[in-house]
Chains A and B, each alone.
Chain A
Amino acid sequence: MKGKTLTNKARTIISTVLVVYAFTVAVNLGEFWPFSIYPMFSQGGNPWSRALVREIPEGEQISWDRTDLDNLPGIPYGVSSNGVDAIDLANFVSKTETWNTTRVRALSFMLLSGVEDARKLQVFRVQANLDDADNVVIRATPYLIVSNDSNFVNPGIQP
């Protein structure tokens, strides 16, 4: 009898949570943490967009030309060396539509927070798609240069 009462209560609670779960994900594009419809990797084969950073040594000429991963300028730079999450960087770059001063400063703050040397970093947006021959084609477009004293946005992506 005790077990039946407890079970009925469990059914009521779970049913209520399910209603709240369904409502919150329905009105919040499938995500209201920790409720989710778990849409990650649901769209197979779609083009993707990520980001990476290169360190530009002093004196090296700045290029805003699109390139491939084998011909990136500068030297490798891992954002985790300064505690930055690479996925945050990718989303920050791909989901920013207008690179206004506030947004550029926010990215600079994220990448250079705690960095005291005169490091110059070039941020690339990396995009890929599957071509007709089933090759994964990857291109890297320079978006910004950030440093502790100045930031520059690729003139080609400015509105």
Chain B
Amino acid sequence: MKMNLSANLFGFDDVDTAGQKLFRNIFELFVVVATAYLAWTWGQYTLRISDIVLPLGFARYIDISFMHGNLLPLWNAGLITALVVAGFFRFGRWPYAVAWVLLLFQYAARFSLGEIPHSANLVGMGLLGYALAELFYPDRESRSKFGLGFTYFFIGLGYTFAAWSKLIASGITWSDGRHLWMWINEKAVDEIARSGMVELNYIQELALSSLMVATIFLTFGLVAEFFAWLVWFKKWRYPVMWAILALHIGIWVTMDILFKLSVIELILLSLPWGALFDRFLVGKTSAAPA
């Protein structure tokens, strides 16, 4: 395994192909569209918030209530959207960075009711990567490679952090299947709150009826997260991405939690799209792996 981390993450010296460029443009476009989606969905929801239960992020330092009770969240969403579109089409070097800062305010205004979500962290880190790339790299190719490599790095780090958080908080017994029983019931109550009723699926029934099955599910999740840092290396990137995707599918079927944007991002990063584009669209074998 080539252990040069920087070469594995960024590949600045790798031969660039049409397929690789197309893939990186598609990934950047995903970050742009996902950012706009978050800005608008958060903005619209913020309109129904009139009190702060738990300040998060910037709201711990400034009174974010100026975003409540008016249309500022929608104006902010519009501005963020315009900025990320400007960033994608390279109108200046600052649009992505300004959009990222405005998105922090949008997040703080939306998530002031006590929930601490992690569903949008990957998109937030991706936008930060492209913002830094625009500010500090000289040309489109290097910016694009840095943005993607930055995303790989913080995906690996984030999931590995999640494993360490579990091991530090609960120890190796975190994967005790009884814990999954508690979470399945917790999410069942969330479903009752959401829709008024709940019907457990086959996988949930299976986990609730067998301590061993429940323990195996949790053990797989913990191991997948623990080795997530291996996505930093090309050799292990795709198998580990698939394991993380499997983890998300497991979370979806057992606890009915689906981080849609994260899953789309992981799907984009879990196949050698660049090489596939070269083979099927451009008609030649890719010289460099995605």
Residues of A at under 8 Å CB distance from B? 2-3, 6-7, 9-11, 13-14, 17, 28, 30-34, 36-46, 48, 50-53, 69, 76-81, 83-92, 94-96, 102-103, 105-106, 109-110, 113, 126, 128, 130, 134, 136, 138
Is B49 located at the chain interface by the 8 A CB criterion? yes
A7-B12, A109-B50, A113-B48 known; A51-B193 Cβ under 8 A: yes
- Find out whether the CB atom of A11 lies under 8 angstroms from the CB atom of B194: no
Apart from A11-B6, A105-B50, A106-B49, what 8 extra A-B contacts exist at CB < 8 Å?
A: A7-B6, A36-B161, A39-B162, A40-B162, A41-B166, A92-B53, A105-B51, A138-B189
Closest to B54 in A: A95
Number of A-B contacts (CB under 8 A): 190
In the bound complex, how far is the Cα of B132 from the Cα of A92, in angstroms?
36
CA distance A106 to B53 in the complex (A): 10
Binds A, one of B74-82, B85-93, B108-116, B278-286: B108-116
The CB with the most chain A CB atoms within 10 A, among B51, B57, B161, B189, is that of B189
With A36-B158, A42-B165, A136-B181 as known contacts, state yes or no: A89 contacts B193, CB within 8 Å. yes
Q: Contact check, A91 vs B114: say whether CB atoms are below 8 A apart.
A: yes
Please name all residues of chain A whose beta carbon is closer than 8 Å to the beta carbon of B165 when the two chains form the complex: 30, 37-39, 42
Given A7-B6, A92-B53, A95-B54, check contact A38 B162 (CB 8 Å): yes
Interface residues of B in 5-46 (CB under 8 A from A): 6-7, 9-10, 12-13, 45
The digit string for B182-206, where 1 denotes a CB below 8 A from any CB of A, is 1101100111111111000000000
B179 at the interface (CB under 8 A from A): yes
Residues of the A chain whose Cβ atoms lie less than 8 Å from the Cβ of B161: 36-38
Q: Which residue of B lies closest to A103 (CB)?
A: B51
B104–A33 touching, CB < 8 Å: yes
Q: How close is B14's CB to chain A, nearest CB, in angstroms?
A: 9
Inter-subunit contact B48/A40 (CB<8 Å): no
Complex Cα distance, B189 from A116, in Å, reads: 27
- The answer, yes or no, to whether B98 is at the interface (CB within 8 Å) is no
What are the 5 tightest A-B residue pairs by CB atom distance, in nearest-first order?
A91-B114, A34-B124, A76-B196, A44-B179, A106-B51
**Residue of B60, B149, B194, B197 touching A79 (CB-CB under 8 A):** B194
Do the beta carbons of A83 and B48 come within 8 Å of each other? yes
Q: Is B114 in contact with A40, judged by CB distance below 8 angstroms?
A: no
B223 at the interface (CB under 8 A from A): no
Q: Complex: how many Å from CA A109 to CA B168?
A: 39
